[in-house]
Structure 1
Amino acid sequence: MIRPFGINEFWFIVMAVQWTLALSAVAFAGGALGGLAVALARVSPIAPLRYAALGFIRLFQGTPLLMQLFLVFFGLNIFGSGINPWLAAAIALTLHASAFLGEIWRGCIEAVPRGQTEAAWALGLRYYDRMKSIVLPQAAKIAVAPTVGFLVQLIKGTSLASIIGFVELTRAGQIINNATFDPFTVFGLVAVLYFILCWPLSILARRMETRFAVATRR
């Protein structure tokens, strides 16, 4: 039975924002840890670590996120490991974020002037101390803007989790649309909510990029 779009339907969609934010936060936090490990492996003097990290990046950057969600969700179920959509989406998005953040941060690490590393090496600092005290603090400043920019993409990417049944913002819109058959209103509201989530972060990323670009020229 078709029902009209009303306040209950409106709040159902709005409340689904919390699950989009929760999934984004989990994936970003996990991706930050994984991305740091991947970035350090990419610039490591140990060749097998560099090749392993490069293979990981190429795998997850070279395949669609939707396929990665399918592989995690259906793949683990095939092997008899029952997995719910929330956990599958969190794992897939974490791996996805690890690959992209790892490559972003690898570029930021290599953007630190080589003379800084050579000076630290000349002072007798070990690799760990050079990275912790010299390279990473400078790379972190460079990485802020592109990292925030990737977070925007990650928030929008959570919409694909609706395909495996996770009820986030997009899936909530699909459920209400199936009940009301009012796609313009439903998905218009969904689009507005995504815009409210992502637009401030996009502005923040541009401002940070401009600020650090000015600071670098000084």
Structure 2
Amino acid sequence: MGSEEFIFLLIGLKWTVLLSVVGFICGGIAGLGVALARSSEIPMLERITAGYIAVFQGTPLLMQLFVVYYGLALIGLRLDAWVAVAVGLTLHASAYLGEIWRGSIDAVPRGQTEAARALSLKYVSRMTDVILPQALRISLPATIGFLVQLIKGTSLASIVGFTELTRAGNIISNQIFQPLTVFGIVGALYFLMCCPLTIIGARLERRFAASAR
């Protein structure tokens, strides 16, 4: 295990981080729309988004990436591996974050919404100024927890041949025949990414629980 192999792992780490960032940001934007639709009190929108969430929560991420990359190619839409994985992670994240944030919106006391309506606030102002700031605070621990899962989920990008951290480790292991050393380093890199986020999420959860007493 020399410097060239370690640099190759770091390149894979770079793509893992980029995939996580793209999936989380794009999935968060789409997930906010899903959350608002789920709590819109419009039956059609609620049913559509409930079905959308059920599909992505009820199927493995591995299968979702497989369908995006290979399934779309069957109908003539060929995506680069990077784009396909980014799209798959975005769809996956939007369903989970949408449900997390929908639950957080519903957790905001009904009196807040009633007070905003009593002040004649329109829907947009009511959501952006009253409901969403409180819902965001409630959802932070669960949101961070999902981000940790998303980071680890990027390891499945290898199904479409994309070289992120796990696949980079597999390539090096096949070359130098030291799987324990290579995947020990790969595991340590994942740990260094995920452990701080896990600690932050746990601290936020304890802080919010204490303030709610």
Q: Same fold (TM over 0.5)?
A: yes
Aligned positions of 1:123-162 closer than 5 A:
123-162=119-158
Q: How many residues are treated as equivalent by the alignment? A: 213
Give the whole-Å Cα distance in 2 for the aligned partners of 1:134 and 1:162. Answer: 43
Give the whole-Å Cα distance in 2 for the aligned partners of 1:47 and 1:67. Answer: 30
Aligned positions of 1:64-213 closer than 5 A:
64-213=60-209
Give the whole-Å Cα distance in 2 for the aligned partners of 1:154 and 1:210. Answer: 23
Give the whole-Å Cα distance in 2 for the aligned partners of 1:117 and 1:79. Answer: 46
Superposition TM-score, scaled by structure 2 size = 0.97
SS at match of 1:206: helix
Give the whole-Å Cα distance in 2 for the aligned partners of 1:44 and 1:184. Answer: 51
Gaps of 5+ in 2: none
Greater shift, 195-204 or 115-124, is seen at 115-124
Name the counterpart of 1:27: 23
- Paired letter, 2:6: F
Alpha-carbon distance, 1:127 to partner? 2.0
Give the whole-Å Cα distance in 2 for the aligned partners of 1:20 and 1:216. Answer: 36
Superposition TM-score, scaled by structure 1 size = 0.95
RMSD (Å), alpha carbons: 1.0
Gaps of 5+ in 1: none
Alpha-carbon distance, 1:41 to partner? 0.3
SS at match of 1:167: coil
Alpha-carbon distance, 1:119 to partner? 1.4
Percent identity for Structure 1 against Structure 2: 58
Give the whole-Å Cα distance in 1 for the aligned partners of 2:131 and 2:76. Answer: 45
Give the whole-Å Cα distance in 1 for the aligned partners of 2:38 and 2:78. Answer: 34
